[in-house]
Amino acid sequence: MASITQLLERNKEVKHTPFLLIDEREHDAKVDFSRTLIVTCCDPRCTPEEIFNFKSGEVIVHRNAGANVRYALRDIVILDTVMQLTEILILHHTDCGTLRHNDEELKTWVKHGNWVNRGIDEKIWPEVDKIDIGLTKDVSPEDTARDNIEWVRAQPVIRDELKKNTRGFVFDIKSGNVKEIVV
């Protein structure tokens, strides 16, 4: 695992190729930019850049714990409004930590502590109770991917064409295989 200090040191060695500024891209009809959005988990074992072998700038990646597309809705609407997305790829993975616990378990740990943290002051507990964490214990990654696809397709703020071009997949962290989940 890399610390912030280590990452900053590594950055000094990076040979950066400048990207076009937004204004430059908007005024140059020849410039094509990504209109594909991947919503995936923030688990460092599930890295779409490696899984699909793409370069920086080719695809937009939105990451959150569990690849829960509900928490990406704001960004989907913004990106689609300014860029007109063409497709959404929802990428779940095997052995996801969000499928091992439910909301109440996690909230208890936040309040009282667990093997990683010490818990928080009781005065803050009511704020913890308000958080929609979205964990689903004992559900398969295939089921969560399917649920996410169905959820996107039910959203009135998402264009019909984009709904049709929303697909879900599960990455197997052991084999490296990617399986499409058909709805």
**Which residues line the annotated binding site for Zn(2+)?**
41, 43, 93, 96
Residue 7, both tokens: 């990452």
Residue 93, both tokens: 């993975």
Element (H, E) at 78: helix 73-83
Q: How buried is residue 103: exposed, middle or buried, by Cβ count under 10 Å (0-12/13-18/19+)?
A: middle
**Cα 73 to Cα 85: distance, rounded to the nearest angstrom:** 13
**Cα 45 to Cα 157: distance, rounded to the nearest angstrom:** 32
Question: In the block, which residue shows the tokens 């964490």?
Answer: 133
The neighbour count for residue 115, using CB atoms within 10 Å, is 5
Residue 3, both tokens: 């610390």
Binding residues: 41, 43, 93, 96
What SS3 state is found at 135?
A: coil
